[in-house]
Amino acid sequence: MSLSWGLGIAFFRTLIILSALCTASLALSTVSPHHDTRQEWVVYARKNMNNTELRRCFNSVSASRANVSLERIAQRTKKSTVLSVRAHSEQDVYDSLQQGGHAESFHVKSNGKRLFVAAPNQNIKKHVSSNANIVASAYVPQEWFNTISWGLDRIDQRDSQLDGRYYVLHGAADQLAAVHVYVVDTGISDHHGFDADRLILGEYNFFDGQQTPYDCDGHGTHVAGIIASIPYGVAKYNAILHSVKVLDCAGSGTILSVMAGLNYVRYNAQRPAVVNLSLGASKNAALEELIEDMIYEDGIAISCSAGNDNTEACNRSPSGSRKATVVAASDKNSRKASFSNYGSCVDGFAPGVDILSTYKDQQIAYISGTSMASPFVAGIFVLLWGQNTSMSATQVMDLATRQTTNNALVSSSLGASSPNKLYYSLVTSEHSVMNNSTDTPTPLPEDVSNEAPSIAAHAFVISNSVVLLVFFLYFFQ
């Protein structure tokens, strides 16, 4: 009897300990749920991945074993897909794609390119070095519309002596063909500095999925104004502006949002088409390969800013692209702007310090950054293409760089391997003067694997403990 009693007590103690451990474990889980250490990857697929293919890839044994999951499809077109994947490594992403029936993802296509390119989904931001200096609000006085940007004054001449005027190509007002410009940025505001007939604000918002590409930051409106606003634009007569919002109200976004916007432009753009990218992030292979395809396969000319870190532009994206036209910033004294990136990936310079242009909420402002340099070149693309729409995107980009003013900048200021080239807006000797002082500005399934245990789970453990205690007292009394 004493042996049975002793065994009963031991059994009871064991049950109490196990019950306490289980309850403590669940309580700990409630306070500190499992932390997902996986990284988010953006995948650029050079094919349209339908739902069946996606399920095959991300429900595969390999994906399950490596804990790879599809986050969302950012943008899907007939020829390519941009999607977000969560995984521990790039190799895990590729393994899932391969197990999903895409063995060719490790090989090259006939054109020498991989079918899939994966890279971290990093943050990306606008390329400005200073806050906007707003000089006029709401109802802009006429004198500000009669004040041209020094940058406009500089790009229309070979020498550095400014003359207070902006010269345009002879016949630009009525002879240049229309060219579409996609400003992939913070959006564009409906500013009275734009020709309303040549401003299209209805493009999709890729930052938060809303059909409202309103510019709550001001950056995109400033960039668009340098390209084509009536008082401050390079291509004020023939550019048709399109707003593609990929950045938020602070000028920030992700590689995924930018690639989704670009993938949209790639298959929906009206031709001829120019894209301006005044933004940047850490080196990203997926973004750069999408840009390359847009230029060579889709015939879209792309101008992008070099960045504002005063370092090698090749180490960033999209400025590290060898295919897009990469623009660094110069100042009024014909020197590289102190903040501007430089190097062999830079194709040339354009004004980027204290540039006057349109801004959000009917304002105008001075801003500095390579973000301001790139749209000068995008505007030059528009002027060139407007003269001859039969040219290819690469021909337009090459011609703009060949027509730069050589040795226009102070060589000692440029940084290692930077070309001493300043972009120039007049490609022929024929031009007519336009003095602005007299002109009239005409869902995936919800992932519950990381949820904390519910109160019911704790109640279940406690109730089981009570039942065991009653059982013990009844049989071992």
Say which of 189, 319, 330, 371 is annotated catalytic.
Answer: 371
Question: Tokens 């109640």 identify what position?
Answer: 459
Phi, psi for residue 141 in degrees, rounded to 5: -60, 150
Q: SS3 letters for 366-422?
A: EECCHHHHHHHHHHHHHHHHHHCCCCCHHHHHHHHHHCCEECCCCHHHCCCCCCCEE
Distance CA 399, CA 390 (A): 14
Q: Which of 92, 153, 185, 215 is catalytic?
A: 185
Number of H helices, E strands in the chain: 13, 22
Beta-bridge mates of residue 422: 349, 405
19 as an active site residue: the answer is no
Write phi, then psi, for 467 (nearest 5 degrees). Answer: -60, -45
Burial tier of 168 (Cβ tally within 10 Å: 0-12, 13-18, 19+): buried
Q: Is 338 a catalytic residue?
A: no
Q: What is the DSSP letter of 193?
A: T
Please tell me the distance from the alpha carbon of residue 77 to that of residue 239, in angstroms, as a whole number: 26
Pick the closest to residue 326 from 243, 232, 397 (CA basis): 397
State yes or no: is 219 an active-site residue: yes
- CA–CA gap between residue 127 and residue 434 (Å, rounded): 30
By annotation, the residues acting in catalysis are 185, 219, 371
